[in-house]
Amino acid sequence: MCANFKPLTSQQIHDLGLPEIPFEYPEEVYPNYATPLLFQSDQGLEWRSVNFGFIPKWAEDKTIGTKTYNARNETLLQKPTFAEATAKCKFGVIPVSEFYESKYFDNKPQRWGVRRKDGKATFIAALYEIARVQDEIVRSASMITMDAIDHPMMKEFHEPGNIKRSVIVIPHERLHEWLNLTQPDIRSFVQGFPVEEFECSHVPKERIKKASSQLNFFDS
């Protein structure tokens, strides 16, 4: 599962010919941080600042977002948290320059970064929602995941065992198709990304002053 990433850069926005993002956002994102989401509106491609962590309409507060930043594609229509938004095809992408996964050595996690070799942004499939929580309008999103036990790169991440997950990467050439789905059948998009187009490497976490269980998850 992906709980940490760097959103796309201004250069990547320019290279892909995307609209400029009209708001500021963090250089690095964790659950319940704000991040840019790209979606299709009646006016065309638009950006929204969303909470990384899905906040359903029935939520009493935003704390649920620390547990809903990833959504399994297999159960989107069964889980009460995601079912309504899925049925309404609220699909977008969270574009990232790099996302991070844990790779274990001697039972200790190291932070590894995954990125495209060509330097372009990676479009990660997302499900989004808008809800009113304690008189506040909250836009939120979750990254959609898939089984990765057979993926040459992603099977090397996460805790030892037979449960391996990966975010679903939307190919650049299928972005319009993904953003304009009218039926919640996403099976044709549930494919492991082409490993020859990506690379990964150890990216130690920089020491920071703010104490947080999320930020200190990786030992190195």
Q: Which one, of 11, 12, 43, 35, lies nearest residue 142 by Cα?
A: 35
Contact 144, 71 (CB under 8 A): yes
State the Rg of the chain over Cα: 17
H/E element, 175:
helix 175-179
Q: What is the pLDDT of residues 203-217, one digit of tens each?
A: 998 765 444 444 444
Tell me what pLDDT residue 211 has: 41
Tell me what pLDDT residue 205 has: 87
Angstrom CA distances, 191 to 90, 148, 183, 203, stand at 20, 9, 18, 26
Pairing between β-strand 108-116 and β-strand 122-133 as defined by DSSP bridges: unpaired
3-state secondary structure of 193: coil
Tell me what pLDDT residue 159 has: 86
Tell me what pLDDT residue 1 has: 75
Burial of 143 (0-12, 13-18, 19+ CB in 10 A): buried
Contact 54, 126 (CB under 8 A): no
pTM here is 0.92
- Residue 30 CA to residue 2 CA, distance in Å, equals 9
Q: How confident is the model at residue 218 (pLDDT cuts 50, 70, 90)?
A: very low
Tell me what pLDDT residue 7 has: 98
Tell me what pLDDT residue 88 has: 98
Burial of 66 (0-12, 13-18, 19+ CB in 10 A): middle
- Structural domains in the chain, CATH included, are 5-202 (3.90.1680.10)
Tell me what pLDDT residue 160 has: 86
Q: What is the pLDDT of residues 157-194, one digit of tens each?
A: 998 889 999 999 999 999 999 999 999 999 999 999 99
List, as one string, the DSSP characters of 67-136. T-SEEEGGGTTTSTTTHHHHHTT-EEEEEEEEEEEEEEETTEEEEEEEEETTSPPEEEEEEEEEEEETTE
Tell me what pLDDT residue 216 has: 43
Tell me what pLDDT residue 208 has: 53
Tell me what pLDDT residue 215 has: 44
Q: What is the pLDDT of residues 86-136, one digit of tens each?
A: 999 999 999 999 999 999 998 899 999 999 999 999 999 999 999 999 999
Q: What is the pLDDT of residues 30-84, one digit of tens each?
A: 999 999 999 999 999 999 999 999 999 999 999 999 999 999 999 999 999 999 9
CA geometry: angle 95, 55, 64, nearest 5 deg: 110
